[in-house]
Amino acid sequence: MSETSKEEIIIGQLRGILEESSVKDQDWDAFCAATTIEDIGLDSLTILDLLYDIEEVIGVHLEAKQVLKISTVGEIVSLLIAEGA
Amino acid sequence: MKEIRYFIEYCLVRLILFLFDALPYRFACMIGIGAGTIYWWIDRKRQKVAVANILKSGVETDPKKARVIAKKAVHSMAILLVESLRSNEFLEGDKMYDHLTFDIQPDVMAALEDPDKGLIIASGHFGNWEVAGHYISRFKPVAGITRKMNNPRVEKLVKQRKSRYRFRPIPKHDSNTGRFLEILDEKEILALLFDQHAGSYGLMVPFFGHPAVTFKTVAMLHLVTRTPLCFASCKRVGPMKFELKSSNLIQVKRSGNKEEDLRNILTQLNRDLENVIREDPTQYLWAHRRWRDDD
């Protein structure tokens, strides 16, 4: 599978996770690698929820500390690919 | 102007500390109880909240007796303050063992003694949680959320009094998950009081049989970082005497259903807290609105 299609699949999975748990009005069709953490209303507490869901849906355990440093969806995707997603 | 005010406040606090240090412990407690009684009569709103909470919890069904418990609970918080001011005196070195008895479960003790493991301790506003923190800081540094004093001079004074105690205060405004994760990453102890109304980052779980929005933080940190988690309490059993107790480590295997996992952990924590409160309801902070009508 090419890196691009892998990225697209992961972005789709992340969108699914976030769309389900989000309480914020959000244009999910605009959800892409450039979307920022702030755009989707994630804060340091809700990131813990995201990490739980990523592990269940994508099957990759990410270190919470790493995720707290990122600012865009694309960076999460890169982290996931680096961890073997 | 601010500087002058800070200085006057600092002098007053120093004077109070000097008097408290010089007074025999029992006398200092009597003054604390007196101040608590004045507070009880002034703050009618909290008085009503406390009595209503006691009745709702079912630990007492007679309103008159509930009032007695609520008043004693205010005294208990005043004594906690005195104990905290005097804690260095009786928790220093091996003197601590004359004042504390322990009922710490072996798996929790193993986690405390393991330098490669962090530990999350969940507790409530019961007994004297500061004494518990002081004791466990003998194993590894303990971090917990504290309210920073507005007055920097007083803040410095308070820190100096606690210098021998390996406590890492996390100011309330800085209590984000990143800070908690750093602590756990350094294999230290994170001690959090989870029994206040959690607002938006909470989950509705029963507390004394009634739904209460409970903080998810300790449970989420446990599920995501796999750091061991336990409940602990420190009950006052006499003047300057305490019983420190822990649950076993809480082992919840991830089911894939986050809400269910959280519910299991938080229900267990609330139940552990209920059990210690039932042992002595006069040592619990009943004045907090844990159950809110608008939930």
Give the gyration radius of chain B's Cα atoms: 19
Mean pLDDT to the nearest integer, A49-75: 90
Indicate the fold that domain A3-82 takes in CATH: 1.10.1200
State the DSSP H helix or E strand holding residue B184, giving kind and residue range, or none if neither: helix B177-185
CA atoms within 13 A on the CB side of A62: 28
d(CA B174, CA B230): 24
- Specify whether the CB–CB gap between B240 and B25 falls below 8 A: yes
Cβ B201–A47 below 8 Å, yes or no?
no
ipTM: 0.84
d(CA B167, CA B182): 15
pLDDT at A26: 77
Interchain CB contact of A53 with B (< 8 Å):
yes
User: Which residue ranges make up each domain of chain A?
Assistant: 3-82
pLDDT at B39: 93
- Model confidence pLDDT, tens digit, residues B84-124: 888 777 887 788 889 999 999 999 999 999 999 999 999 99
Q: Quick check: B63 pLDDT over 60?
A: yes
CA distance A3 to chain B (A): 27
Of A5, A1, A6, A2, give the one whose Cα is nearest residue A83: A6
d(CA B130, CA B221): 22
Amino acid at A52: Y
Q: What is the DSSP string of B243-290?
A: EEEE-PPP-----S-HHHHHHHHHHHHHHHHHHHHHH-GGGB-TTS--
Of B225, B254, B258, the CB nearest to A64: B225
Mutate which of A45, A50, A54 to test chain B, going by most B C-beta atoms within 10 A? A45
Tokens representing residue B35 in the block? 């101040």
Collapsing DSSP to helix, strand or coil, A23 comes out as coil
Using CA coordinates, name the residue in chain A closest to B217.
Answer: A45
Cα B233-B218-B84 angle, rounded to 5 deg: 40
The contacts of residue B91 (CB under 8 Å, 6+ apart) are B99, B131, B134, B135, B165
